[in-house]
Amino acid sequence: MSGRTCDIAIVGGGLSGGLIALALAQLRPDVSLRLIEAGDTPGGNHRWSWFDSDLTDAGKALVRPIRKTTWEDGNHVAFPAYRRQLSTPYSSIASQDLAAALQRELPEGAIMLRSRVTEIRGDGVTLASGEQVTARTVIDARGAVSTPHLAGGWQVFMGRHLRCATPHGIARPIIMDARVEQLGGYRFVYVLPLSAHELFVEDTYYQDTPELDRSALSSRIDAYCRQHAWDGDILGFETGVLPVITSGNAARYLDSVRTEGVAMVGARGLFTHPLTSYTLPFAVETALAIAEDADLPGDQLAAKMEARARRHWAATGFYRLLGNMLFGAARPDKRVNVFQRFYRMPEPLIERFYAGKSTLADKARVLVGKPPVPITRALAALTSSRPALETPPHESDVK
């Protein structure tokens, strides 16, 4: 290590940075690391969920030390026209679960909290306190940024963690309950039964703008809970404003956020599912890849990660196309029809869609047949452009 603070410095102790640190601790305990996080705790305030089919066996082994809730019996969806039960197991972790696993698994002193990085370089970082952390390899995991180089829409949501006074009676996650009033975009409620009494209820919108009206969403969650007679104490809540990428110039985006010699990962590194905005499956794979390349100098790891990001961008074009159709071709109150039609597809196709691994046959199946949007509008949407994924500087919820 010769005079440096550590071999690898990871800037940002969120999902992607945390998983990389976990992978290094598990697979390369000989590599010294620092996980440098601006906040009081790693992970922020989120709940991250995934389908069993999103992860490989190695990925499942990586997340094993994290306390999680798993629903082995699958999940279901509900649309105005039908309900469907799906057999894919589903899992969920809270930020505190990731933080606890990191505190347990990482060597003492590896996690640096309340440490805002003000300068990032190929050979180390400077903290707001003036402290220097020097490293052979620096990884930038600071989360998504507002950008003029990507375009699309937004997934906006508020989730509430609730302890019901009486058992709620829900056995499986409801991934989408789209039987709710469609307001300003595709709207659905997501429900996780965390225990016999505890529920996580999230009101979500695929909408054109990044505005999040907290009081409106909160009262709609109230109304949904009242309708189901779920009454009890609120244990916590989270909000999210996530970009849904429908087009853009990945090369220009990467040019605009890259620091020479620094590897970029997570949402900032473009490792997202363009349509669902989920990053967990890709963050897990990236963490495993970095553990395999843990001896590389920073500039080589940076080049490898950027090549990986470009491949990921090329491989996910289909989801951007679907996003374009969703936002551009369907009237906001009719966007529900796109998902209502999609969820009638065979289950393995749905699994591959969420994992970002749709086959050519899957893509053809999704695109052919009676379209859920008028064909003229669909064609117009493909040639039109969507607004840039830029947020006002004060929007602190944007991840």
Ligand X SMILES: Cc1cc2nc3c(=O)[nH]c(=O)nc-3n(C[C@H](O)[C@H](O)[C@H](O)COP(=O)(O)OP(=O)(O)OC[C@H]3O[C@@H](n4cnc5c(N)ncnc54)[C@H](O)[C@@H]3O)c2cc1C
Report phi then psi at 153, rounded to 5: -135, -160
Q: Shortest Cβ distance from residue 378 to ligand X (Å)?
A: 27
CB under 6 A: which stretch of 38-46, 71-79, 169-177, 302-310 binds ligand X? Answer: 38-46
CB under 6 A: which stretch of 138-146, 218-226, 307-315, 383-391 binds ligand X? Answer: 138-146
Shortest-Cβ-distance residue relative to ligand X: 14
**Of 49 and 316, which has the nearer Cβ to ligand X?**
49
CB under 6 A: which stretch of 14-22, 63-71, 314-322, 376-384 binds ligand X? Answer: 14-22
**Of 142 and 386, which has the nearer Cβ to ligand X?**
142
**Of 120 and 381, which has the nearer Cβ to ligand X?**
120
Q: Shortest Cβ distance from residue 93 to ligand X (Å)?
A: 9
Identified binder of ligand X from the candidate list 32, 204, 247, 277, rule CB under 6 A: 277
Identified binder of ligand X from the candidate list 67, 83, 116, 214, rule CB under 6 A: 116
**What are the angstrom distances between the C-alpha of 277 and each of 156, 175, 183, 270, 323?**
11, 15, 20, 10, 11
Q: Please, are residues 373 and 338 in contact by the beta-carbon 8 Å criterion?
A: yes
Q: Shortest Cβ distance from residue 216 to ligand X (Å)?
A: 17
Identified binder of ligand X from the candidate list 8, 9, 21, 141, rule CB under 6 A: 141
Which tokens go with 300? 């080589």
In 3D, which of 29, 81, 7, 90 has the Cα closest to residue 55? 90
The residue count for binding ligand X (CB under 6 A) is 32
Q: Shortest Cβ distance from residue 273 to ligand X (Å)?
A: 7
Identified binder of ligand X from the candidate list 5, 24, 35, 44, rule CB under 6 A: 44
Q: Shortest Cβ distance from residue 254 to ligand X (Å)?
A: 15
Report phi then psi at 69, rounded to 5: -105, 130
Cβ atoms within 10 A of the Cβ of 320, count? Answer: 21
Which tokens go with 275? 């349509």
Contacts of 223 (CB under 8 A, 6+ apart): none
Q: Please, are residues 313 and 270 in contact by the beta-carbon 8 Å criterion?
A: yes
Can residue 267 be called a binding residue for ligand X (CB under 6 A)?
yes
In 3D, which of 399, 241, 387 has the Cα closest to residue 328? 387
Residues 193-212 touching ligand X, rule: CB under 6 A, are none
Half-sphere exposure of 397 (CA within 13 A, CB side): 18
Secondary structure class of 191 (helix, strand, coil)? strand
Half-sphere exposure of 162 (CA within 13 A, CB side): 25
Give residue for tokens 């919108």: 205
Can residue 60 be called a binding residue for ligand X (CB under 6 A)?
no
**Of 141 and 326, which has the nearer Cβ to ligand X?**
141
Half-sphere exposure of 214 (CA within 13 A, CB side): 6
Can residue 185 be called a binding residue for ligand X (CB under 6 A)?
no
Give residue for tokens 């551009």: 328
Can residue 266 be called a binding residue for ligand X (CB under 6 A)?
yes
CB under 6 A: which stretch of 12-20, 65-73, 353-361, 369-377 binds ligand X? Answer: 12-20
Can residue 238 be called a binding residue for ligand X (CB under 6 A)?
yes
Q: Please, are residues 36 and 139 in contact by the beta-carbon 8 Å criterion?
A: no
Point out which residues bind ligand X (CB under 6 A).
11-17, 36-39, 44, 46-49, 116-117, 141-143, 238, 240, 242, 266-268, 277-280, 399
